[in-house]
């Protein structure tokens, strides 16, 4: 029911130069839920997120957030109203310190001056809540990708985000870093923060997500409890046509690496994919 939802997007339409990118698409996220949003390239996942966060203006449909009509003109405005997005390419300032990146836009001041002690303490507190203890005075570029993502998440939580959107967050992480990210996702859920997890890797979805919404050709084709949908059925529902497929790397192959490159070929009136160095599911 609507009152049980943190986010409700219904009947969302978006066209570019008259060509539909979204056609009556929908997405619902519950409070404290980790919700997977999946589909091949061009399915409409990114457009759906950009409509939600104000990067694109929708042509039709309704968005409710915390039970209230929600429409913003920019990702910055969406962030100020409780929705933060962590993009595949981390959108932080590499030569600035961890503290500066976490507190950028909400700097603490005392007597009109920047209160560095308060900001350093805030950055340390937020990162410590994820089990990360580092020198927050060092520049972001000194740290690996996983720690940089934790900084991006800490920044989102610092803005009191109620919904965090993660766009292909594990694409450049190794196995240990992925485990660290999943631990943080579970911590966000335990704290009542909802997460939209955009990915094409089935193992990841079954690891951390509660429900899954599948998109195809700009439409929402199915939403289901993650644990109740067998993997072979999930894979069969999501992909159609060319483009990247949902895949699972073989043991010993890095997630998101060369093992997830795909070749597509036609067979009769349908298409299927053969995973180069792995296998499709």
Q: Is the separation of the CB atoms in 38 and 205 below 8 Å? A: yes
**Unique residue bearing structure tokens 């969406």:** 78
Q: What pLDDT sits at residue 264?
A: 37
Please identify every stretch of the chain with a pLDDT value under 70, giving residue numbers as ranges: 1-3, 227-281
Q: What pLDDT sits at residue 230?
A: 54
Tell me the pLDDT tens digit for each residue of 35-58. 999 988 889 999 999 999 999 999
Q: What pLDDT sits at residue 200?
A: 74
Tell me the pLDDT tens digit for each residue of 109-163. 988 899 999 999 999 999 988 888 899 999 999 998 888 888 988 888 888 889 9
What span, in angstroms and rounded, lies between the C-alpha atoms of 196 and 156? 13
């Amino acid at each position: 029911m609507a009152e049980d939802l943190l986010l409700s997007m219904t009947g969302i339409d978006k066209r570019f130069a008259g060509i539909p990118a979204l056609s009556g698409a929908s997405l619902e996220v519950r409070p404290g839920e980790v919700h997977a949003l999946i589909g091949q390239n061009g399915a409409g996942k990114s457009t759906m997120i950009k409509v939600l966060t104000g990067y694109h203006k929708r042509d039709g449909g309704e968005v409710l957030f915390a039970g209230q009509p929600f429409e913003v003109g920019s990702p910055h405005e969406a962030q100020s109203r409780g929705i933060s997005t962590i993009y595949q390419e981390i959108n932080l300032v590499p030569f600035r310190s961890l503290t500066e990146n976490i507190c950028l836009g909400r700097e603490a001041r005392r007597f009109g001056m920047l209160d560095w002690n308060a900001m350093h303490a805030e950055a340390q507190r937020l990162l410590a809540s994820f089990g990360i203890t580092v020198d927050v005075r060092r520049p972001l570029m000194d740290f690996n990708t996983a720690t940089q993502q934790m900084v991006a998440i800490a920044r989102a939580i610092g803005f009191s985000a109620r919904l965090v959107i993660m766009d292909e967050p594990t694409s450049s992480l190794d196995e240990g870093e992925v485990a660290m990210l999943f631990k943080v996702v579970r911590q966000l859920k335990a704290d009542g923060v909802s997460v939209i997890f955009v990915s094409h890797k089935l193992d990841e979805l079954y690891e951390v997500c509660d429900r899954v919404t599948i998109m195809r050709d700009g439409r929402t084709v199915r939403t289901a409890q993650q644990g109740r949908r067998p993997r072979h059925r999930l894979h069969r529902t999501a992909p159609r046509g060319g483009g990247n497929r949902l895949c699972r790397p073989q043991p010993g192959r890095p997630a998101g690496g060369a093992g997830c490159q795909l070749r597509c070929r036609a067979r009769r009136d349908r298409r299927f994919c053969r995973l180069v160095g792995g296998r499709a599911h």
